[in-house]
Amino acid sequence: MISTTSQRVSADDPSLAHFLYALMSAFPIFFLPTLVGLFINFGQRASCSGVMISSHLRWQRHSIIGFMLMGGIGLSLTQLWLSSIVYTIAILWFCHRIVKGWLNLADGTAV
């Protein structure tokens, strides 16, 4: 007879946040992994009770939504040079948010 035991994941387990940062960092691939990460993030918002993990989930949501807003602004601009500048600023800002959040998560501190 084979018995299986399941391990309970703690509310302060940072593995989900690490996974979501990995999905965010894959944004050049059609932006789809970032959207999947956003949907997972919204789904985990209510079940997360730890201060550190909830601050990282909030940081990720604000990063993705801000990136989408800046991308929408860049898309609505008619001059190519101006939209390129907005896209470049948005990408650099988003990369900065990913790196800063992921390093704080690795250190075990809230954002």
**Domain coordinates in residue numbering, the chain:** 15-107
pLDDT (0 to 100) of residue 6: 46
At 5 the pLDDT is 54
| Residues 55-88: tens digit of each pLDDT | 999 999 999 999 999 999 999 999 999 999 999 9
Give how far the C-alpha of residue 7 lies from the chain's centroid of Cα atoms, to the nearest Å. Answer: 25
Q: Determine the Cα–Cα distance for residues 96 and 88; give it in Å rounded to an integer.
A: 12
- The reported pTM is 0.82
Question: Residue 90's pLDDT band (boundaries 50, 70, 90)?
Answer: very high
**Residue 28: per-residue pLDDT:** 78
pLDDT per residue as tens digits for the range 30-54: 788 889 999 999 988 878 778 888 8
pLDDT category, 2, cuts 50, 70, 90? low
- pLDDT value at residue 31: 82
Q: Distance between CA 20 and CA 62 in Å, rounded?
A: 13
pLDDT, position 94: 95
Angle between helices 15-25 and 51-76 (to 10 degrees): 10
Name the residue type at position 7.
Answer: Q
Give φ, ψ of 47 to 5 degrees.
-90, -5
SS3 17: helix
What token pair was written down for 50? 């730890």
pLDDT at 98: 95
